[in-house]
Amino acid sequence: MSATRPQPRDDLRALEGYHSPQVDVDVRLNTNESPYAPPAAFVERWVDALREVDWNRYPDRAATGLRSALGTFLGQPPARLVCGNGSNEILQTLLLTYGGAGRRALMFEPTYALHAQIARGTGTGIVAGERRPDYAIDPDDAIAAIDRERPAVVFVCSPNNPTGTVESRETVEALARAASDAGAVLVVDEAYGEFAPWSALELVSEDLPLAVVRTYSKVWSLAGVRLGFAVAPTWMVAQLEKVMLPYNLSVPTQVAGTIALEFAADMQQRVASLVEERGRLFAALAATDGIDVCPSGANFLLFRVASDAHEVWKRMLAHDVLVRDFSSWPRIEGCLRVTVGTPEENDAFLAALGEVLPEVV
Ligand SMILES: *Cc1c(COP(=O)(O)O)cnc(C)c1O
């Protein structure tokens, strides 16, 4: 036996993997995917297109077709777009490019766990900023933190996962200016941007160090494909492209992303019905004794349970309803998060909650 096994980097020793348990139940409302399959016509068009591909050749490195279609869809020049295998790859590329050893990323907790997780993986230090009691970012506190901590990257998740909080345009503009003054990149993670009343996409310009990150995983019903992108100034995109692995996006992924855009009307209809269901769920939760629900601009709702939240989560699971358990997370103790599902799934969730709550003290 060899004397020593190779050890990971010292700074990775304490790293735990990403934990979001996937349990096989009827009603899966724990990972914020779309409850709807993509349109059948989309799958047909995609599979047809794949019959014509030269599979022995590498894919188009620059993803020209996808970026041009996406640029047209978003009203942005293709040179401002960079695409990856899910927005997580984009976040990793941003950190590999602008973070790394000796640099730090500022994030406002509680927020998307992968911002810190990917920062650790890239050797980037982490600075945790706080939020107001309503989970919005206090712009004055945030600007003070940027001035004091001099991070290389600042993360703002809006709508914020797991709270659903949407930051105002004023806050994002103020943070972008503060980041600019400090020589930092502001990353606005808009994985749920389509469900929100406004988007930071309209702020992207050559003069601001702002990257807005989006994904096909949620509204486009394509979590299984793994496709995400950033809209950023061309000079930032040029840097990110140097770091991204060549040929990172497979042909099926590029084709899926392009064809999906032809089904934008279906997507918008889904967003509208999920937003309507979100309103119905919010009203039902708000009217329930022992529940305190956060306003949300996303396709999920965070709610605090007055009784033992973990026990509620467990008993919901016994009713075949899986939600996300945040009961032991700092700053959101006692909270659960439910993804907005189909009307039937939401009914099942409310019925299970109605049965479980009186049982748990
Ligand atoms: C779901 C989610 C993502 C999506 O990641 P993908 O890699 O695109 O699937 C990114 N950011 C946040 C905040 C999310 O909740």
- Supply the CATH number for residue 336's domain: 3.90.1150.10
- Rounded to the nearest integer, the mean pLDDT of the chain is 96
Same domain assignment for residues 88 and 175: yes
How far apart are the CA of 218 and the centre of ligand 1, in A?
Answer: 8
Which ligand 1 atom is at minimum distance from the Cα of 85? 7
Name which residue sits closest to atom 1 of ligand 1, judged by CA.
191
Q: pLDDT (tens digit, 9 = 90+) per residue, 248-307?
A: 999 999 999 999 999 999 999 999 999 999 999 999 999 999 999 999 999 999 999 999
Which ligand 1 atom is at minimum distance from the Cα of 160? 13
Same domain assignment for residues 55 and 27: no
Task: Determine, yes or no, domain membership for 279.
Answer: yes
How far apart are the CA of 190 and the centre of ligand 1, in A?
Answer: 8
Tell whether the model's pLDDT for residue 24 goes beyond 90.
Answer: no
Same domain assignment for residues 202 and 292: no
Task: Determine, yes or no, domain membership for 45.
Answer: no
pLDDT of the residue at 361 = 79
CA distances from 280 to 125, 203, 219, 237, 287 (A): 41, 32, 19, 40, 11
How far apart are the CA of 301 and the centre of ligand 1, in A?
Answer: 16
Name which residue sits closest to atom 14 of ligand 1, judged by CA.
191
Same domain assignment for residues 63 and 205: yes
Residue 169 belongs to domain with CATH number: 3.40.640.10
| DSSP three-state, residue 108 | strand
Question: In angstroms, rounded to a whole number, what is the distance separating the alpha carbons of residues 70 and 215?
Answer: 12
How far apart are the CA of 299 and the centre of ligand 1, in A?
Answer: 12
Residues 113, 121 contacting (CB under 8 angstroms): no
Same domain assignment for residues 140 and 237: yes
Task: Determine, yes or no, domain membership for 4.
Answer: no
How far apart are the CA of 4 and the centre of ligand 1, in A?
Answer: 37
Tell whether the model's pLDDT for residue 86 goes beyond 90.
Answer: yes
Same domain assignment for residues 146 and 292: no
Same domain assignment for residues 258 and 274: no
Domain boundary among 237, 263, 289: 263
Tell whether the model's pLDDT for residue 108 goes beyond 70.
Answer: yes
Task: Determine, yes or no, domain membership for 210.
Answer: yes
Task: List, in sequence order, the alpha helices (H) in the chain.
Answer: 40-50, 64-74, 87-98, 113-121, 139-149, 169-182, 234-243, 251-260, 264-286, 309-318, 343-356
Residues 186, 176 contacting (CB under 8 angstroms): yes
- Residue 42 phi/psi, 5-degree rounding, is -65, -45
Instruction: Please give the residue range of the domain that contains residue 64.
Output: 51-263
How far apart are the CA of 6 and the centre of ligand 1, in A?
Answer: 32
Domain boundary among 206, 229, 263: 263
Task: Determine, yes or no, domain membership for 3.
Answer: no
Which ligand 1 atom is at minimum distance from the Cα of 112? 13
Residues 315, 330 contacting (CB under 8 angstroms): no
- Residues lining ligand 1, Cβ inside 6 A: 32, 86-88, 112, 157, 161, 189, 191, 215, 217-218, 223, 228
Task: Determine, yes or no, domain membership for 75.
Answer: yes
Domain boundary among 263, 295, 329: 263
Name which residue sits closest to atom 11 of ligand 1, judged by CA.
191
Same domain assignment for residues 184 and 255: yes
Q: What is the count of structural domains for the chain? A: 2
The pLDDT-based confidence of 2 (bands split at 50, 70, 90) is low
Same domain assignment for residues 174 and 82: yes
Same domain assignment for residues 180 and 295: no
Task: Determine, yes or no, domain membership for 43.
Answer: no
How far apart are the CA of 204 and the centre of ligand 1, in A?
Answer: 20
Same domain assignment for residues 165 and 256: yes
Q: What is the pTM of this model?
A: 0.96
| DSSP three-state, residue 40 | helix
pLDDT of the residue at 19 = 67
Same domain assignment for residues 240 and 320: no
Tell whether the model's pLDDT for residue 15 goes beyond 90.
Answer: no
Task: Determine, yes or no, domain membership for 240.
Answer: yes
